[in-house]
Amino acid sequence: MAEEAKKLAGYAAVDNHVQNNQVVGVGSGSTIVYAVDRLAERVRQEKLNIVCVPTSFQLDVAIDGADEVDAALTLIKGGGGCLTQEKIVAGCAKHFIVIADFRKDSSVLGQQWKKGVPIEVIPMAYVPVSRTIAKRFGGEAVLRMAVSKAGPVVTDNSNFILDWKFEHAQNWKEVNTAIKMIPGVVETGLFVGMAERVYFGMEDGSVRVRDPPVI
């Protein structure tokens, strides 16, 4: 059911946002596989001229998944450990579109996703950063440990990841900025004000579209 939902969301995003002669940023994760399938299908059928890149500085559209999406389209990403690269790609795109299945849909962050906000840190700083986050914002920032090998998870950038298990909803824009100012923090998995639209594949076979709230 979840796989079919991911496919629905991925197909809808590609059909609605990808056009001929575009440079498309492609993220990572299980939902993106379906978006890439649909891209390939459209290139074959419509003879589209599309350039797909995993990272670039001039993207028309970036499509990526999310671990959780709240009512304001604030995202938690980085469950897979690629938050810094994913945020760079999203930030370079004129349009950042998110695809997800129904399990990622929350009214507030933390409702569905219980693993916290990933924060990439310079290895020597993980202890002071962890303590500072807990002291200033509550909750607990835990070093992510590897599953199949000994020791902590090491990112593609040779850094560590803290998973901040926060206790309650926050002003995510302010918190994101404050965490990024802590010495040793590379990037956070909070994507605030970045997503233009989210497509949720639903259990009943439909696709729910969410745009940011009008302020």
Cβ proximity of 182 and 162 under 8 Å: no
Q: Is 120 a catalytic residue?
A: no
Q: HSE on the CB side for 50, CA within 13 Å?
A: 25
CB-CB neighbours of 149 under 10 Å? 9
DSSP annotation string for the chain: -HHHHHHHHHHHHHHHH--TTEEEEE--STTHHHHHHHHHHHHHHH---EEEESS-S-EEEEEE--SEE-TT--EE--TTS-HHHHHHHHHHEEEEEEEEEGGGB-SSTTSS--S-EEEEE-GGGHHHHHHHHHHHH-SEEEEPBPSSSSSB---TTS-EEEEEE-SS---HHHHHHHHHTSTTEEEESEE-S--SEEEEE-TTS-EEEE-PPP-
| Options 68, 86, 120, 187, the catalytic residue | 86
Catalytic positions, please?
86
